[in-house]
Structure 1
Amino acid sequence: MNQRYAVVLAAGQGTRMKSKLYKVMHPVAGKPMVGHVVEQAEKAQADQIVTIVGVGAETVQSYLGDRCDYVLQEEQLGTAHAVLQAKEVLEGKEGTTMVVCGDTPLLTAETLDSVYRFHEEKGAKATILSAHSEDPTGYGRIIRGANGEVEKIVEQKDATPEEAAVKEINTGTYCFDNRALFEALAQVGNDNAQGEYYLPDVIEILKKQNEVVTAFQLEDQDDALGVNDRVALSQAERLMRERINKKHMKNGVTLIDPAATYIESDVVIGSDTVVEPGVYLKGDTVIGEDCLIQAHSVIVDSTIGNGVTITSSTIEQSVMGDGSDIGPNSHLRPQSVLKEGVHVGNFVEVKKSTIGRHSKAGHLTYIGDAEIGEHVNLGCGTVFVNYDGKKKHKTVVKDNAFIGCNTNLIAPVTVEADTYIAAGSTITDDVPEDALAIARARQVNKEGYVSKRLQKAEERQSESQK
């Protein structure tokens, strides 16, 4: 196989986005657009990727890291000028160079690989990725000759009525023989209304040299959607979401209402898991088999085991073991781990804590900076008091402990195994194994208190009326 190169055009300012964020860094399905493009080029086995950066170069380079070489286009003088900046990296190399825009997040590796293969099989010097459009308004038209070879690309403003009626359009993605590309780029001029250097002019130059120029037509025009404003961004988001959801359903996941289910591109879901409407699955989330993710749950960068039930809750950078459950309306904050069979009920918050197998926190509880053993019961209203105003401190609760309702555990403190803590206690000292801890004031009943209070209130009111 020939060497494959990819040039990603990512230098445009994107003024129509009206945003402080660099255009190609706007996310689609949780990933910056340029990230989608580079990832698909990698999957299409591009041996070297060169990203052309301009305004916001540092942001793009910080995100992509060493996955690419980078070349700066200091002035945006057109697409041919942008590709020409890669001369110092690619000129003189044998192989095929694909030029793709960094704002086309829907292009797939399968499409890019097909274009590479088609280009090489045809022995072409240039191949245009085209698409059929029922409404080609605004696009360059692909004009073919009698033998099916591409004769030229005609922009709409320059097209005759016959050419304007053509429905095969230029998507802006190309493959070139690498040597021929840079030889032709040196000949591209800027004698046009915008005074810019346009990449389609390379096609005309190669045709005049009697080189083979072909076009590979996409089945679905949507795959080549370029994002130039917020409207197109929302279209790309919708189309990507439909693609992602369809993939999961074909892999055995049940989505009750795909149109109301939001799954980002890197999420993994096991078979026979059911996802209800209004769910957001984000980042590097992995969900096992036979789970139930109920309506309006949010899961971010988390690992969920098999047979887990999540009810209207938020999970962030945490782990839930097999057979565990949470919710409704509970929250796992980062670095929380629920082991096998753990039950976390409604209105419970867990932060940077590990809860052992088959332990329970039924409701209205805060667990922070804690290590909790197996078969522990945390009563309603239990609070792990972990912060002294300057530092966070750890609480350890060992196996089979029973923590009564409305208990405050003042960290740092250890509750040993097989202990009981009486409801309403505030625990400041370690609790030894096999003990009952009671830490509350003794109850005192004031007989006749209510009647005396009412009598005094009546007397004050009588005095005020005199």
Structure 2
Amino acid sequence: MYNCAVILAAGEGKRMKSSIPKVLHKVCGREMVNIVIDSAKKAQIEDIDVVIGKGAEQVKEATKSRDVTYSLQDGQLGTGHAVLCAGDFLKGKEGTVVIFTGDSPLIEEDAIKNMLNFHNKGKYKATVLTAEVDDPTGYGRIVRKKNGEVLKIVEHKDCSAEELKINEINSGMYCFDIESLVENLDKLHNNNVQGEYYLTDVIEILKNKGERIGALPVNFEEVMGVNSRLQLSKAERVMRNRVNNMHMKNGITIIDPNTTYIGLNVKIGRDTTIYPGNVIEGNTVIGENCVLYPNSRIKDSTIDDNVIVQSSVILSSSVGKNVTVGPFAYIRPESVIGRSVKIGDFVEIKKSTIGDRTKVAHLTYIGDAEVGSGCNFGCGTVVVNYDGKVKNKTLVGNNSFIGCNTNLVSPVKVNDNTYIAAGSTITDEVPEGSLAIARARQVNKEGWVYKKGLGK
């Protein structure tokens, strides 16, 4: 059976009070519309059309990696009008089309598969996902016959007093027989309170023709839409719980899931422990037996096994096995940290490579540098990589010892097995096996304080 999908993503989202199109607001680090697309693809729906309108180019840009097509809805005249705009996509197709809304990111793969199975086995011309809620305000109501069959769907503003009491609501997600849908879309009218063309009216048209209409109840959480920042926060909480629960089932210890934020694309190895306040984003991969102590942020980075991170930031970088980072370290993009390295407190690494077993213990800045293995950086070392016009490179060889408060003025090379005396400013190459001293000789002027009358 051929299945395709149409995702409605043209809405303006006025209640979001944002210059960003509503469907591009993120839940657990991923745009809502992309979450819906990814869920549909997991359910083996590959042929997907996204109906765009408000912020069309932004939505295209955000979804360009998803291999979808687009239909333009010029002016938002209702859900029926939106699907009508996808007419060229649907034309000539036979099978089932699933209609999604791009602002309902909590629908999961299993729910989509269940809806398709329910629709196909029941040989329905249309199937609607429904949910029971305590407060149905704002939602379309599912009106059923006494035998439980769906009679019609009535939008909230068009409900009678009796219909307003119904607690079963329309999720806005449907399966349709494609040919039946296309055949009846041009029969829609906008004789309603909002003056819009409702896709739900197709249900009533099909019903009046004697066609079978299915309604599959699901948990409201699955179909919850996002129309405001408050609802966005609720969706974020639900998705975060799903993500954290998945990782814990896979052998990860999360001390406090309520204060741990893990993105949808993050991968974490077994026996890693995550303390409260950690934010792990993007395409991050964390190995086994790591410990993330409280309040770190890691984004788009690879962390190997047995790494300890304390209250630090790691961005778009890689960290090797058996490394300790922090507290209060900052590893900036394009950095590569080798194995068994110590990156200590108040250390900043920028676009640099740090070799195995090197120690950068505290209060040090290393930028645009290649550092060898087995080195030791004393407190207060600065790689002076910027001359006011360009960033320059520093090379530090293996087994070098950099004394406290050293300035390495780029471009400069420090060769293997060298020592730099504390307080030096190095501007020339240091040969292998050398001690470099680059500071003024100490001069003591005895009695100077008293001669100047500064004594106390």
Shorter-normalised TM range: over 0.9
Give the distance between the partners of 1:206 and 1:118, measured in 2 at CA: 18
CA deviation after TM superposition for structure 1 residue 111, in Å: 1.2
Aligned to 1:452: 451
Give the distance between the partners of 1:3 and 1:260, measured in 2 at CA: 43
Give the distance between the partners of 2:135 and 2:227, measured in 1 at CA: 18
* Equivalent residues in 2 for 1:138-217, closer than 5 Å: 138-159=138-159, 163-217=163-217
Give the distance between the partners of 2:156 and 2:381, measured in 1 at CA: 70
Q: Does residue 279 of the first structure (1) align with residue 281 of the second (2)? A: no
Aligned to 1:253: 252
Q: Indicate the larger mover: 195-204 or 261-270.
A: 261-270
Q: In the alignment, residue 254 of structure 2 is paired with which amino acid?
A: L
CA deviation after TM superposition for structure 1 residue 161, in Å: 5.8
**CA deviation vs aligned residue, 1:6-44 (integer Å, no higher than 9, x gap):** 111011111111111111111111111111111111111
**CA deviation vs aligned residue, 1:349-394 (integer Å, no higher than 9, x gap):** 0000010111000000000011111111111111111111111111
Q: In the alignment, residue 410 of structure 2 is paired with which amino acid?
A: A
CA deviation after TM superposition for structure 1 residue 411, in Å: 1.1
Kept after mapping to 1: 8 A contact 2:157/2:193: no
Aligned to 1:136: 136
Aligned to 1:228: 227
CA deviation after TM superposition for structure 1 residue 193, in Å: 2.0
**CA deviation vs aligned residue, 1:141-167 (integer Å, no higher than 9, x gap):** 223335443222233455556544433
Kept after mapping to 2: 8 A contact 1:271/1:289: yes
CA deviation after TM superposition for structure 1 residue 312, in Å: 0.3
CA deviation after TM superposition for structure 1 residue 321, in Å: 0.5
Give the distance between the partners of 2:451 and 2:13, measured in 1 at CA: 76
Q: In the alignment, residue 130 of structure 1 is paired with which amino acid?
A: T
Aligned to 1:362: 361
Aligned to 1:423: 422
**CA deviation vs aligned residue, 1:253-272 (integer Å, no higher than 9, x gap):** 11111111111111111111
Kept after mapping to 1: 8 A contact 2:308/2:323: yes
CA deviation after TM superposition for structure 1 residue 169, in Å: 1.6
Aligned to 1:116: 116
Kept after mapping to 1: 8 A contact 2:40/2:46: no
Aligned to 1:341: 340
Kept after mapping to 2: 8 A contact 1:318/1:333: yes
Q: In the alignment, residue 114 of structure 1 is paired with which amino acid?
A: N
Give the distance between the partners of 2:337 and 2:46, measured in 1 at CA: 42
Q: In the alignment, residue 40 of structure 2 is paired with which amino acid?
A: A
CA deviation after TM superposition for structure 1 residue 328, in Å: 0.5
CA deviation after TM superposition for structure 1 residue 229, in Å: 1.1
* Residues 1:77 and 1:159: Cα distance change in structure 2 (over 3 Å): closer
SS in 1 for 2:35: helix
SS in 2 for 1:227: coil
Aligned to 1:461: none
Q: In the alignment, residue 443 of structure 2 is paired with which amino acid?
A: V
CA deviation after TM superposition for structure 1 residue 47, in Å: 2.5
Question: When the two structures are aligned, how many residues end up with a matched partner?
Answer: 455
Aligned to 2:378: 379
Q: In the alignment, residue 221 of structure 1 is paired with which amino acid?
A: F
Kept after mapping to 2: 8 A contact 1:315/1:331: yes
CA deviation after TM superposition for structure 1 residue 251, in Å: 1.2
Kept after mapping to 2: 8 A contact 1:3/1:47: no
**Which TM-score applies when normalising by structure 2?**
0.97
Give the distance between the partners of 1:78 and 1:65, measured in 2 at CA: 25
Give the distance between the partners of 2:275 and 2:423, measured in 1 at CA: 39
* Residues 1:222 and 1:256: Cα distance change in structure 2 (over 3 Å): same
Among all aligned residue pairs of Structure 1 and Structure 2, give the percentage whose two residues are the same amino acid: 53
Aligned to 1:77: 77
Give the distance between the partners of 2:438 and 2:369, measured in 1 at CA: 20
Structure 1: gaps of 5 or more residues: 459-466
